[in-house]
Structure 1
Amino acid sequence: MFLGLDLGTGSCKALLLDPQGQIVAEASRSYPVLAPGPGQAESDPWAWWQAVGEASRAVAGACAPRVQAIGLSGQMHGVVLSDAAGEPLRPAILWADGRATAELHALRALSPAQRHRLANPPAVGMAAPSLLWLKKHEPALYRKARWALQPKDWLRLLLTGRALGEPSDASGTLLYDLKADTWALDVVEALGLRSDLLPPLVPSDTMAGHLTREAAQHLGLPSGIPVAAGAADTAAALLGSGLGVGEAQLTVGSGAQVTVVLGEPRIDPTFRTHLYRAALPKQWYAMAAMQNAGLALEWVRRLLGLSWEEAYREAQEVPPGCEGLTFLPYLSGERTPHLDPEARGVWAGLGLHHRRGHLVRAALEGVAFSIREGLEALAEAVPSGKPLRLAGGGTAEPFWQQMMADVLERPLVVGQVRSASARGAALLGAMSIGFPVPRVRFPMVGEIRPQDSVYRKPYERFRDLYARLKDWMRP
């Protein structure tokens, strides 16, 4: 059997896969996202470690002696500053962090050729601007650090004692040359960053080490189990869902991503969308990345004191368009298509007739509208009417699925596996030891077709609201 560990923004998922590619068991353990200051997002890596151990022991159980390999996936873009042994020097800075706005100027000042090879727009929350911020504001820790690792790469260091990176996560750092398929050391030098903080790179399906005795005890597994390099969560999800070249997927978790698998690298000339390495060799994926999906909806739910069941029930009692209420979900800024770290959340159009259910439904609609904007930014990469496969833990509610289909005006296809990133991680574990686990393309259990176009006018109001407020949002 093969264990996949997915280190997400708010929880760790563990999944056990059998040799036929079928899921045997799943478990999840959560941890908090910290906000030490306005626009900041951090996590305690030791909280990740605790959750990984609990989730692993929950799924392994009596099957522990049969686990042949471990694969990893994890949230992208963050920075874990650590010593040589993996001891974190400070909380991890996450992808949703917006503190490094001023540091984007250094990335925009790179030569056109350098920016083209990075293949991605400068955005806060990525490793390069976060490292520039750390160098400026926490210079002693920056000098003391041995490694600046992506979250799942830090986890692998604790599991194996080896510090390594791999292309799918590295390509999301703004320090990676997509054309040369390696670290962009000239960019690192131009930014004045330390190249020795970056770990050596190996392919995603490579055996990156073996489980140490201490880590094995923590995970409830035998020591010496091979551990794969693994992949970024979105790349792992594409593998775990069985998507082929040209197919598109919508993933809704803390953020939302629309992705399409490519057989060759195609850089967006407008630099509104992203291009990253996939988990498999000679594959890439284009992505529209929206920062605030489950992140914003969970904030609204907690603010209003609702359970998820209550939130969905009250939202369904409100008509589409929320009787004039519009929600901008940009609580942590926004990437696609605005690339605006200073964007902020808004409820606009409130009246005495609005109730709690209006606030919830407006939030759901606002997240769906932001996904549509991202989808439109991908343009011809995802042609009009092309179905999207659903993935991620935030896509299970039928009412929410139908709303997204109606807003996007295209079919959504539901598969049998929700933990696609953890499944992709387990597959990479199997591949790392040469085990031919079939990359099962899960049968679809349903298709949600758009029922009407009632959201067109509310969507235009949504777009107009941001356009009118974006200058007002500036500090």
Structure 2
Amino acid sequence: MTSYILGVDVGTTSVKAVLLETTSRTVEESHTLPTKSDINDDSSLKAKEQDTTRIIHTLNRCMDHLPRDKLQRVRSIGLSGQMHGVLFWKANSGCDWSNRDSFSAKDTSQLITWQDGRCSSNFLSSLPKPDSHVSVATGFGCATILWCTKHRPEFLEDFTVAGTIHDYVVSMLCGLDKCVMTPQNAASWGFFNTSTNQWNSDILKGAGFPVHLLPQCVSSGSLAGQTCRDWHGIPAHTPVGAALGDFQCSVYSCMSARTDAVLNISTSAQLTFAMPADFKPPGAPQPASSISYFPYFDASYLAVAASLNGGNVLATFVGMLTAWTEELGVELSDSCLYEKLIHCSLSQESTDLRVSPTILGERHHPLCLAQVTNISPSNLSLGHVTRALCRGVLDNLTSMMPVECLREAGVRRIVGSGSALARNKVLRQEVEKVFPLPVEFGQSVDSAVGVAMFLCDRSFLNQ
């Protein structure tokens, strides 16, 4: 009988669920919904939080769109999601299962996301040096918890467990009274040594960190547990893998050879390639370096230029234009305006306008904000500006990881993925101009597919 792997990605802006047929390893069913969960906090423009209740509600709606007869034949469940962020909840009461065979969030905090900016440069410089090759930045889980320890200690007293949003979902599905976390997510929090797979517990304790909140680390590919109840038709006691990083899963779904480099542009943007099997990361953080080393699978690493500025830059531009048109008495939806911008820029094949799109700075250079240069009367059309913005996103990435670096690593092909690339033909055109290598776009490639493929390849499915 046909069986399936359920892959779920809890992303920054949307939730996606796919059913992967185990024999053919093809996606037979898929559904995506926007979470619309951002919380606008007027008290602090730097705080970036999302409504946990709305995220879980979106997850349930997404699952409701998948055929129940196929869900009943799911052999295992894999989750990936947005890294770095932190969610708090109470052990044994983090959800409510009273709504038939789905759960809703209960006794949780809001999700503080990777985009959070409340940890200033001064605050980060006051933190102890981690025993890790990973530099700590604002939006990283451990930095956020340390900030809360100093500025909102009473807030932390309400919770006993912490993890990423996808760790939380795994814990609720399995009925765990703790959080288990893979090195992929742990490294994204900071203060985690990927060589020993251990938290910097003593260092954190010395800084006043509530170390009881640290998740239990398990290897990427481990079984977190089994579903404690029927869930949208998936039988109880179905194996659930420990949650993985969305970036690593995205790469897993499309890196078919070690000579591939993966370019992913969704909310943010990343350019990555696989390091040799014997590679070991540096022994200490390199905060000024634009290239990071992410733990991948089987003790290997990815070299990554991880930019904070990707599709979110284009979304901000569209939002700005929408606000301007409203002030002028004209109403256009964001989606309609986006399509018009793409149409205008397709007829504008090149531009000498230059846009540095780093509106969010970069982790290795947080004070480097956006600029527009080489402005002239002839390049002020929407076509010029939109194409320059798309080119700027790519120029920023290649300034972080130059093409020469790819060549030296033996990269022979660029694999393009991510929602922004799939949606934006102008961005794809600029990719082909920037990289003097063959480029292959995989519009259907994403983290939900990657986590399902990874679980399909793992032996615990037969347990």
* Structure 1 residues 132 and 381: CA distance shift in structure 2, 3 A: farther
Q: Which runs of 5+ in 2 are unaligned?
A: 95-105, 323-333
Answering whether residue 113 of structure 2 is matched by residue 94 of structure 1, we say yes
TM-aligned CA deviation for residue 367 of structure 1: 1.0
Match of 2:72 in 1: 65
- Per-residue deviation, 1:381: 8.1
Match of 2:350 among 309, 316, 320: 320
- TM-score, with length taken from structure 2: 0.83
Please show how residues 400-439 of structure 1 align to structure 2 within 5 Å: 400-415=427-442, 417-419=444-446, 421-431=447-457, 434-435=460-461
Shift in CA distance, 380/251, structure 1 to aligned 2, threshold 3 Å: closer
Q: Which residue of 2 aligns with 1:276?
A: 294
Pair 1:42–1:430, CA change in 2 (3 A): same
Q: CA deviation at 1:266?
A: 3.2
Q: Mark the CA change 1:358 to 1:380 in structure 2 (over 3 Å): closer, same or farther.
A: closer
Q: Specify the code of the residue in structure 2 equivalent to 1:61.
A: R
Retained in 1: the 8 A contact 2:90–2:161?
Answer: yes
Aligned to 2:329: none
CA drift at 1:310: 1.6
Identity percentage over the alignment? 24
Say yes or no: does 1:226 pair with 2:239: yes
Paired with 1:238 and 1:159, the residues of 2 have a C-alpha distance of 26
Match of 1:126 among 134, 137, 140: 140
Name the counterpart of 2:103.
Answer: none
- Aligned equivalents of 1:365 and 1:208: distance in 2? 42
1:170 pairs with 186, 193, 216, which one?
186
Aligned to 2:264: 251
Q: CA separation in 1, counterparts of 2:374 and 2:442?
A: 37
Amino acid at match of 2:460: G
Q: 1:302 to 1:384 in 2, by over 3 A?
A: farther
What SS class does the counterpart of residue 396 from structure 2 fall into? Answer: helix
Partner of 2:88: 81
Which of 54, 63, 74 aligns to 1:56? It is 63
1:24 correspondence with 2:28: yes
How does 1:49-448 map onto structure 2 within 5 Å? 49-84=56-91, 85-86=93-94, 87=106, 89-101=108-120, 102-107=122-127, 109-110=128-129, 115=130, 117-162=131-176, 163-213=179-229, 216-217=230-231, 219-245=232-258, 247-262=260-275, 263=277, 264-267=279-282, 271-278=289-296, 280-305=297-322, 307=336, 308-321=338-351, 323=352, 325-335=353-363, 339-353=364-378, 354-376=380-402, 379=405, 383=409, 386-396=412-422, 397-415=424-442, 417-419=444-446, 421-431=447-457, 434-435=460-461
C-alpha distance 389-411 of structure 1, shift in aligned 2 (>3 A)? same
The AA in structure 2 aligned to 1:80 is: L
1:414-471 superposed Cα distances (whole Å, 9 cap, x missing partner)? 247422x1122113443566348xxxxxxxxxxxxxxxxxxxxxxxxxxxxxxxxxxx
Q: Is the 8 A contact 1:227 1:429 kept in 2?
A: no
Partners of 1:120 and 1:271 within 8 A in 2:
no
Is the Cα–Cα contact under 8 Å of residues 255 and 262 in structure 2 kept in the other structure?
no
Displacement of 1:351 in angstroms is 5.0
- Residues 36-68 of structure 1 show CA distances to partners (whole Å, capped at 9, x for unaligned) of 232332211222111111222223433111111
Which secondary structure state, in structure 1, belongs to the residue aligned with residue 218 of structure 2?
Answer: coil
Instruction: Assess if the C-alpha contact under 8 Å between 1:71 and 1:427 holds in 2.
Output: no
> CA 1:76–1:63 in 2, change beyond 3 Å: closer, same or farther?
same
Q: How many residues align?
A: 420
Matching residue's letter, 2:53 = W
Q: Deviations over 1:136-193 (max 9, x none)?
A: 2211012332122112111212222222111111111112112212222233224321
How large is the RMSD of aligned CA atoms in angstroms? 2.5
Quick check: 2:223–2:460 contact (8 Å CA) kept in 1? no
Give me the whole-angstrom Cα distance separating, in 2, the residues matched to 1:61 and 1:4: 15
Q: Measure how far apart 1:352 and its partner are.
A: 4.9
Equivalent position of 1:43 in the other structure? 50
Q: What amino acid is aligned across from residue 124 of structure 2 in structure 1?
A: L
Once structures 1 and 2 are overlaid, which stretch shifts more, 154-163 or 287-296?
A: 154-163
Q: Distance in 2 between matches of 1:245 and 1:189?
A: 40
User: What is the distance in 2 between the residues matched to 1:227 and 1:54?
Assistant: 20
Tell me, yes or no, if the aligned pair for 2:344 and 2:383 is still in contact at 8 Å.
Answer: yes
What TM-score comes out, normalization by structure 1 length? 0.81
Write the letter of the residue equivalent to 2:347. Answer: E
CA contact (8 A) 1:4 1:422 kept: yes
